[in-house]
Amino acid sequence: MDTSRIQLSPPEGGHLPPDLFDDVARRAAQQVAGDRKNQKNKPTQLRQFYDELVMWEEKVRRDEDRFHEYLPFIRMLNAKAAYAEGRKHVDRNFVDLMHHCLGQVTSPSVLRNFKLFFEAFMGFYKVERPSG
Domain assignments of the chain as residue spans, ordered by start: 47-128
Contact assessment for residue 50 and residue 118, using Cβ atoms and an 8 Å cutoff: yes
The whole-model pTM stands at 0.94
Q: Identify the pLDDT of residue 119.
A: 98
User: Could you report the per-residue pLDDT of 38-86, keeping only the tens digit for each?
Assistant: 778 988 899 999 999 999 999 999 999 999 999 999 999 999 999 999 9
Q: Identify the pLDDT of residue 122.
A: 97
Contact assessment for residue 128 and residue 36, using Cβ atoms and an 8 Å cutoff: no
The residue that leads in pLDDT, 95 or 131, is 95
